[in-house]
Amino acid sequence: MTDRPHKPDAIRKVVIVGGGTAGWMAATLFSKLYERAFEIVLIESDEIGIIGVGEATIPPIKRYNSMVELDEYDCLKAAKGTYKLGIEFVDWLHPGHSYMHSFGKIGQDLGWLRTHQYWLKTLQEGRAAPFDHFAINAVASRRNKFMRARADMTESPLGEIAHAYHFDAALYARYLRGLSEGRGVRRIEGKIVDVRLRGEDGFVEAVVMESGEAIAGDLFLDCSGIRGLLIEQALHAGYEAWSEWLPCDRAIAVPCASVEPLTPYTRSTAQAGGWRWRIPLQHRIGNGVVYSSQHLGEDEATAGLLANLDGEALAEPRVIKFTPGVRKEIWKKNVVAVGLSSGFLEPLESTSIHLIQSGLIRLVTLFPDRSFNKAVIDEYNRQTYFEYSRVRDFIIAHYKLNAREEPMWRACREMAIPDTLREKLDLFGATGQVFRFNEELFAEESWIQVLLGQGLIPQIYDPGVDVKTPEEIDRYLQNIENVIDKCVDVMPPHIDFVNHFCKA
């Protein structure tokens, strides 16, 4: 129990319902930041499997790692992880086409304008190099090279490498469990069979275990996955479905044996009725298909997935059913939903683990006392809904902008889209400009790469481009390509970097 004095209405006990990535990320963060200011209990059952397809991350995870003082190499060894420089999108615009959505910087701004504005002029004149050539992460990905950014090389692209990770989600959760338990988190094994609500206000008072033990708490985190044991089954928070824009409602996951080379990027390949993912780890490759059950049958989806594996399948395919969307209230009364219990967005841009992290950090920022002030809860819900809806828009853009001919893809091309996305697409399509609004997740560089990659070519480039002569523009773009090429030459192969620093 707590060994610190606290104000009378302070939270004294946090109960985390569910383990997996969400539960153990929560336990690790709280036990680190709050030390022993309150008791932390995590309940999980070895009998209940975790979804665990969220094996790819995006660069903001490094903020979480820093907050919990996690050692990157140590963690990747334990979770059999590899590095990630971006995502390759294959066949998304049309069969035979591919592009990289790479992390980090594109080129080097010239004056007040970004690289893509000058590139657009050369495209209009029919002499543009592939846009992938202007980002070090994209070029390194294509050549299977990797190194961490060199902090001492601020003037070089080698100082601007942005990275994330691929890892085994179950092993990552186990690693975090070790950290949490070392900091005083108590784990309780078993199944919850009932949830007790307080008579006067309907708050969760306790969860009841199969053994009959009742575990009470002040603040409950629902990390129980899609079923939402507390937030939905007990408190009926409601769900806002986004199926009108995101047609996929099934996923099938299967690991396979590793092959070389060890790629430092995730791959997403579009197909009739959906898309396939490929995530390279040290000991295996994570694969899956995300599809619309209206357009593709389970047997056909499974057969297509198995036929496209790089190596021998290592397990039976596992089917996951989902409805894309978000809870109407992610924090209700004294329950905060974290991870898949708060909403589900397909893993197209590897946002699942990020949404766990950002939800937890937001909760730290707006941490309650036992009065559970309504203004605090409302602000948390507003910010979380905003983040979910902007990630949703980014994912919808991949579907909307396509030139494929299968029924699902034609329907996506013709569908009405949210106004927030329509405004972004209209502006970019007119002028090549994109602006990051408020605290939305994806930076301008991400939007630029995906919109160009999906074939949305702006009608005009920025008039400021014509301040430079054609020769100056050519020299500027050629210089970016040459510098990036030389930088990638000195980077080691991804597999060598992994073997040297974090081999499992």
Laid out side by side, the sheet with 219-222 consists of: 186-189, 39-44, 13-17, 219-222, 335-337, 331-332
- With vertex at residue 144, the alpha carbon angle to CA 141 and CA 149, rounded to the nearest 5 degrees, is 65
Secondary element (H or E) of residue 181: helix 169-182
Residues 6+ apart with CB under 8 A from 126: none
Alpha-carbon span 16 to 437, nearest angstrom:
33
Q: Are the C-beta atoms of 298 and 285 separated by less than 8 Å? A: no
Cis peptide before 261 (omega within 30 of 0): yes
Q: Are the C-beta atoms of 120 and 432 separated by less than 8 Å? A: yes
Q: How far is CA 8 from CA 202, 204, 369, in A?
A: 22, 20, 9
DSSP E strand boundaries for 129-238: 164-166, 186-189, 192-197, 204-209, 214-216, 219-222
The 3-state DSSP class for residue 51 equals coil
- Chain position carrying tokens 């949404």: 355
Instruction: Name the percent of the chain in helix, strand, coil, to the closest 5.
Output: 40, 20, 40
Secondary element (H or E) of residue 290: strand 285-291
The 3-state DSSP class for residue 231 equals helix
Tally the C-alpha atoms within 13 A of residue 130's C-alpha that lie toward its C-beta. Answer: 11
Q: Are the C-beta atoms of 279 and 348 separated by less than 8 Å? A: no
> What is the torsional sign of CA 253, 259, 264, 268?
negative
Instruction: Check if 13 is active-site.
Output: no
Judging by DSSP bridges, how do beta strands 39-44 and 186-189 pair with one another?
A: parallel
- Of 418, 413, 412, nearest to 393 by C-alpha is 418
- Provide the greatest CA pair distance for the chain: 78
- Chain position carrying tokens 């395919």: 317
The 3-state DSSP class for residue 270 equals strand
Which of the following is catalytic: 84, 105, 332, 333? 84
Catalytic residues: 84
